[in-house]
């Protein structure tokens, strides 16, 4: 998918930690809901600012929540599109069954699917993150610090001059 500069200006990519990298994991329901609400709020703000395409890397955690939110907004009348950026076709191969079913359902509702590599390689996730940044003008990132794919995505976004919106998972509001 190469949408060019015109579409890049109305495209926002979303990146964030997987559940096991979040400071509260899945055990603190209040923190989990606060984080999801902050993510929802930033996606809505972006849509209201004219962003129409939202790219999700479709990993478990923040990427999945973002994809679900874009679908909800589309169903409620927002003119938004979900672009699923997959590192490889087998991205979900080692996930629990429930997560794989959720992933496949989200893919069936995506407006576009872009696959970076035809098979898993040690570099395909990083390549996916770079592709997301190269095709966007805004990044919404849930980031609590440390070395991670999200940290690398933020570095790419700074290098490419994207507007970056950071959500702190420890203090999402």
DSSP string, 132-163: HHHT-SEEEEE--SSSSHHHHHHHHHHHHT-E
Query: Would you state the pLDDT for residue 144?
Result: 80
Give domain status of residue 8, yes or no: yes
Alpha carbon separation from 128 to 6, 23, 28, 43, 91 (Å, rounded): 21, 25, 30, 20, 11
Tokens of 83: 């672009």
| CA trace torsion 155, 3, 10, 70 (10° rounding) | -90
- What domain count does the chain have? 1
Tokens of 3: 């949408």
Give domain status of residue 172, yes or no: no
Query: Would you state the pLDDT for residue 4?
Result: 47
Query: Would you state the pLDDT for residue 57?
Result: 96
Query: Would you state the pLDDT for residue 150?
Result: 93
Q: Output the domain CATH number for residue 126.
A: 3.40.50.450
Q: Within a 10 A sphere around the Cβ of 66, how many other Cβ atoms?
A: 28
Residues of the chain with pLDDT under 70: 1-6, 19-31, 172-173
Q: For the chain, how big is the Rg over CA atoms in Å?
A: 15
Query: Would you state the pLDDT for residue 21?
Result: 67
Query: Would you state the pLDDT for residue 3?
Result: 46
Q: What residues pair up with 165 in beta bridges, in sequence order?
A: 140
Q: Within a 10 A sphere around the Cβ of 76, how many other Cβ atoms?
A: 8
Query: Would you state the pLDDT for residue 35?
Result: 85
Query: Would you state the pLDDT for residue 114?
Result: 96
Query: Would you state the pLDDT for residue 87?
Result: 95
Query: 93 Cβ partners below 8 Å, 6+ apart?
Result: 120
Closest by Cα among 61, 116, 108, 82 to 11: 82
Domain that holds residue 113: 4-167
């Amino acid at each position: 998918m190469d949408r060019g500069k015109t579409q890049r200006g109305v495209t926002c990519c979303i990146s964030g930690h997987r559940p096991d990298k979040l400071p509260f994991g899945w055990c603190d329901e209040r923190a989990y809901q606060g984080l999801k609400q902050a993510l929802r709020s930033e996606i809505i703000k972006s849509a209201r600012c004219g962003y129409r395409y939202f790219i999700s890397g479709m990993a478990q955690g923040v990427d999945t929540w973002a994809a679900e939110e874009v679908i909800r907004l589309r169903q409620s009348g927002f003119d938004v599109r979900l672009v699923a950026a997959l590192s490889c076709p087998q991205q979900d191969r080692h996930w629990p069954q429930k997560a794989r079913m959720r992933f496949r359902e989200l893919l069936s509702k995506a407006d576009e699917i872009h696959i970076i590599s035809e098979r898993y390689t040690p570099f395909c996730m990083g390549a996916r993150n770079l592709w997301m940044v190269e095709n966007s003008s805004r990044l919404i990132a849930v980031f609590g610090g440390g070395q991670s794919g999200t940290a690398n995505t933020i570095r790419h976004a700074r290098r490419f001059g994207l507007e970056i919106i950071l959500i702190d998972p420890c203090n999402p509001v």
